[in-house]
Structure 1
Amino acid sequence: MREIAIKVENISMQYRLMSGKINSLKHFFINSIKKNITYEEFSALQDVSFHIDKGEVFGIVGLNGAGKSTLLKIVAGILKPTSGNVERYGSLVPLIELGGGFNAELTGIENIYLNGMLLGYSKKFIKEKIDEIVEFSELENFIHTPIKNYSSGMKARLGFSIATLVKPEILIVDEVLSVGDHKFKEKSEAKMKSLMGAGTTVLFVSHSLNQMRTMCDRILWLEKGSVKEIGPAQEVCDRYKLS
């Protein structure tokens, strides 16, 4: 019997959305005082359960708004679900919204140290790996430039290069293989495959069904926040494509 890396039990996520149109902060306060603001409940996820074995590559497919990114953030510990429980067995690195945690006023090199230390790397270790990170990101000419001058793709490439520096036990990946030009996509996909081949457990979201077919063992199909199907990658992708 295989060991479990991630166990998700009965996860639900509810949001309160403001009803009606609020044109300004002043309008909001006036309506708050008059108690004219009403809210509607929006269910992003409903009673989602699954498990991922150690060393498995587990994918999630679904239309925009199906709840894929919300589910990844809950598994990563970024969001707390309204109900349900997530258990993780191993060190986890989330490749979600790459570059979102960068300090815009600092340079690329300064952000490498900042983000690397947030991931638990020592300053000495980061210093030893600086050249490797910069080379992989292909940002040699911009590494001393403030991040605020980077494009979203440049920030994502730097974030990917930092996050995949060492082999985590669990990797959560949200669309990062669509980052950059064709050459960098191939390089980042090769890096992902090397991590998978070394036994890293991967939870993976991509809009590319070809990537899902070739890289995943099993796939969860989310539809309007609920589990529609879980099964072998090829079979689920084929049925999802025909839906």
Structure 2
Amino acid sequence: MSENAVEVINVSMRFNLERERVNSLKEYIIKLLRKKIDYEEFFALKDVSFKIVKGDSFAIVGNNGSGKSTILKIISGIFKPTAGQVILNGSIAPLIELGAGFDMELTAKENVFLNGAVLGYSKKFMHQKYKDIIEFAELYDFEDVPLKNFSSGMVARLGFSIATVVRPDVLIVDEILSVGDQGFQEKCEKRLNEMTSNGTTLILVSHSIEQVKKICKNAIWLENGKLMASGPVPEVCEAYARG
């Protein structure tokens, strides 16, 4: 019987949205102290459950606002769910937001070591992997340039290269492959396929159904925070396309 890398059990996520308009910080603080701020509850996720087997390439599809990024942040430990739980087996490398863990004032080279430290890698290890990171990201001519002068695609390439320089047990990728030219996207897809072939579990969010079909085996479809379908990618994508 296959072991699960991730188990999401009856997860719900509630946010409180302010219903009224407040014109100034002073007014907001006064209303807050008097407990007169009126909130409306919004559920980004409602009682969602699914399992991801170790070594699977797993996609989460859905329209904007469906809860895709929220569930990724819960799995990554960034958010704590309002209800339910997530069981994670192994190390995790989340690649969710462009530039997360980077200092835009520092150079690409300095950020490699900074981001490596954030991910828990030693300086010695990052020295050993530095050349591979820069070459994969195709930034050898820009290693001494501050990231604030980079395009979003260049930042994405650097982030992806650092996150995949090792083989984490679970790799989470949120829309990052949509940034960059076709050649680099294909190179990323090849690396992801190599990682899953070697046992890494991939969780991918992408608006590109074609990309999902190329990379992933199984998927879920979220709509307004609810689980609408789960199973093999062709079946889930067909259900999602039918709406």
What is the CA distance between 1:228 and its match in structure 2? 0.8
Name the CA distance, whole Å, in 1 between partners of 2:212 and 2:105: 37
Superposition pairs of residues 70-219 of structure 1, within 5 angstroms = 70-219=70-219
Aligned-partner Cα distance in 1 for 2:62–2:171: 20
Report the residue type matching 2:207 in the other structure.
H
- Which whole-Å CA distance do the structure 2 matches of 1:129 and 1:219 have between them? 32
Runs of 4+ in 1 over 6 A off after TM superposition: none
CA distance in 1, matches of 2:35, 2:117: 46
Distance in structure 2 (CA, Å) of the matches to 1:36 and 1:75: 34
**Equivalent residues of 2:101, 2:118 under 8 A apart:** no
Between 194-203 and 39-48, the greater mean CA deviation after superposition: 194-203
Given that residues 229 and 239 in structure 2 are in contact (C-alpha distance below 8 angstroms), is that contact kept between their aligned partners in structure 1? no
Task: After TM superposition, list the pairs within 5 Å mapping 1:57-76 onto structure 2.
Answer: 57-76=57-76
Q: Which runs of 5+ in 2 are unaligned?
A: none
- Cα distance, 1:35 vs. partner? 4.3
Tell whether the 8 Å contact from 1:98 to 1:160 is kept in structure 2 after alignment. no
Query: What is the identity, as a one-letter code, of the residue corresponding to 2:72?
Result: L
How far is the alpha carbon of 1:98 from its aligned partner?
Answer: 3.1
* Residues 57-76 of structure 1: CA deviation (Å, up to 9, x unaligned): 11111110000000001011
- Summarize the alignment of residues 226-237 of structure 1 with structure 2, pairs less than 5 Å apart: 226-237=226-237
CA distance in 2: counterparts of 1:37 and 1:15, whole angstroms: 15
TM-fit CA distance, 1:33: 4.5
Q: C-alpha separation between the residues in 2 aligned to 1:136 and 1:27?
A: 51
When structure 1 is superposed on structure 2, of 34-43 and 194-203 the one drifting more is 34-43
Query: Letter of the aligned partner of 1:238 in structure 2?
Result: E
Distance in 1, matches of 2:22 and 2:209, equals: 39
Which ranges in structure 1 are unaligned for 5 or more consecutive residues?
Answer: none
The change in CA–CA distance for 1:91 and 1:35 in structure 2 (over 3 A counts) is closer
Give the equivalent residue in structure 1 for 2:8: 8
- Tell me the distance in 2 between the aligned counterparts of 1:47 and 1:19: 24
CA contact (8 A) 2:171 2:203 kept: yes
**1:14 to partner: Cα distance:** 0.3
Q: TM-score, normalised by structure 2?
A: 0.95
2:48 is equivalent to residue 44 of structure 1: no
Q: Give the whole-Å Cα distance in 2 for the aligned partners of 1:201 and 1:154.
A: 25
TM-score by length of 1: 0.95
Aligned residue type for 2:149: N
What root-mean-square deviation, in Å, do the aligned CA atoms of Structure 1 and Structure 2 show?
1.4
Give the Å deviation of 1:31: 3.2
Tell me the CA shift for residue 34 of structure 1: 5.0
C-alpha contact (below 8 Å) 1:105/1:146 kept by paired residues = yes
Give CA deviations for 1:76-100 in whole Å, capped at 9, x if unaligned.
1111111111111111111111322
Q: CA deviation at 1:225?
A: 0.2
Secondary structure, in 3 states, of the residue corresponding to 1:42? strand
